[in-house]
Structure 1
């Protein structure tokens, strides 16, 4: 783990080198082909603002993530939600992610859902993800919503 000031010192030291080599540095943006993605239609039913505003969406930091024993789908997350008390959320995403790749990530959760027991473990919230299907396929893709690590645990989304 680096101290907060170490990045600034490294940046100052490398700044002179980077300006000398500026012409040699090229950024390559990876193009993603979305032409084969099937998007679900939007809901026709509307939700009034008062109902929506009751949902508490928060940035959460993954402190620990493990596979739930005797489950092929469930991952158990131990999350920092900014309250100082660890939050446990279970999510059926093991087909898409290995637990160790999620530790340290900043995710988005809805935190005021009623607790729900799964496999004998109480889950207190839900992680948000984007899901889509590929055209001409039954395969589904799932991507957890991950945000910039500079967003602190507990930050509220509006």
Structure 2
């Protein structure tokens, strides 16, 4: 049974969908518009990880407050992140050949936050940002895509 205003709601819904279809910060595209035919996927690991080991990993949503190129490094970007704790977290990532620092400010990313700190170029990195990497068929080239999630997810949200 249709409600009396269902036609009005349908019209609004279509208008909202149309208005927001291109409002995606440039990183969400319809899969039908992306050509994956030239992508070579690496085989899955055969070694299994037991659940207890996996569950010790702390994956969190983090908001990029600042991102700068690390001086004297061609690869490293230094991220200042809001991880929901009230204290800024610094993570370094070797992705400068794929991203410019200014395009990442304000994005919501996924990080593993309980890795031991590691010094790179004299700066302590406290975690790791997650990315998806794939190689192109018949090529040495690879693509890297930093995992970005909906900005409605708050800093510090735990992933399960």
The verdict on a shared fold, with TM-score over 0.5 as the criterion, is yes
Shift of 1:31: 1.1
- 1:40 corresponds to: 42
Partner Cα distance (1:63, 1:75) in 2 = 13
Instruction: Measure how far apart 1:39 and its partner are.
Output: 0.2
In structure 2, what is the equivalent of residue 71 of structure 1?
Answer: 73
Specify which of 98, 106, 109 is matched with residue 108 of structure 2: 106
Quote the residue 2:27 is aligned against.
none
Q: What's the secondary structure of 1:52's corresponding residue?
A: helix
Encode CA deviations 1:62-108: one digit per residue, 9 max, x unaligned: 00000000000000000000000000000000000000000000000
**1:138 aligns with one of 129, 137, 140:** 140
- For the pair 1:89 / 2:74, whether they are aligned, the reply is no
1:116 partnered with 2:118? yes
Q: Distance in 2 between matches of 1:68 and 1:33?
A: 34
Aligned pairs, how many? 140
- Is 1:53 aligned with 2:55? yes
* TM-score where L is the length of structure 1: 0.83
5+ residue gaps in structure 2? 1-7, 23-29
Counterparts of 1:74 and 1:102 in 2: how far apart (Å)? 14
Consecutive aligned runs of 4 or more in structure 1 exceeding 2 Å deviation: 25-30
Aligned partners of 2:116 and 2:142: how far apart in 1?
27
